[in-house]
Structure 1
Amino acid sequence: MGSLTDQNTAGTDELLRQLKIKVGVARRLIKEAASYEKEAAAQEQKIAGMRTEGRDSYDIKKQEEVLQESYMMIPDSKSRLQAALEHLAAFLTQSRDVKEVQESDVYAEANELATQLVTADSSG
């Protein structure tokens, strides 16, 4: 008798665990994308300062190479974030009928993150 309830509880626990993992991945990738953008902006300022100070052109060129590397990481991090948010949104759709998932603490944050996907799609 209790085994069906235990199976349901185990299944719900697994869904909640997966949801927490997906939210954690999305959070990390949001921070990563923001970090690359911040790094690129700081590098742009550094290069502008070097030019203003009349620094050696070789040094400036090397810093521009660093800037280009930062620029190359931005689309990659954003595409990984996009994929993570799509997986999260799909997971929310698949588990929308599971009451325990909807009532969990992490569900509201997951919905908010999935909303960022919609916002990014409509603005990009």
Structure 2
Amino acid sequence: MSDATSLHRLLKIKAGAAKRLMKENRLYQKEEESLKQKLDKFIADGAENWDIKNTRNMMEESHRLVEDTAKRLGGATQDLREAIVASQKVLPSDDVELATANGILQEISI
């Protein structure tokens, strides 16, 4: 396997992992916001204590998942950055995999 082929494979793997973690993190953030609104509604409507407690527990779990995926996303982003830097030394600047990886890195940074 040539050096360019192994770099393409590395870029594809690192970019895929970062993109998946980005989506996962955003999903957990939306879930946490949704549960927060649900909790506020339960409190305002005077719902049963069990409903409030259960929703609060689910919201706290979502918050932990947001923090965990954010931490893993940070590591994956750093790995992707390093793979891009290593690839830029070998691959031409108009390489498709390199451009895709750069695009995903920019999308994560937004």
TM-score, normalised with respect to structure 2: 0.87
1:53 positional shift: 2.2
Matches of 1:74 and 1:48, distance apart in 2: 20
Highest RCO, 1 vs 2 (Cα 8 Å, sep ≥ 6)? 2
Query: Which segments of 5 or more consecutive residues in structure 2 lack a partner in the other structure?
Result: none
1:38 positional shift: 0.3
Q: Is residue 103 of structure 1 aligned with residue 103 of structure 2?
A: no
Q: Percentage identity across aligned positions? A: 30
Q: Structure 2 matches for 1:1-124, cutoff 5 A? A: 10-100=2-92, 102-115=93-106, 119=109
TM-score, normalised with respect to structure 1: 0.78
1:93 positional shift: 1.2
RMSD of equivalent CA atoms: 1.9
Runs of 4+ in structure 1 deviating by more than 3 angstroms, as ranges, are 112-117
Instruction: Note the alpha carbon deviations across 1:49-100, whole angstroms, 9 max, x for none.
Output: 2122221012101110110011111111011001001001111111212235
- What SS does the aligned partner of 1:99 have? coil
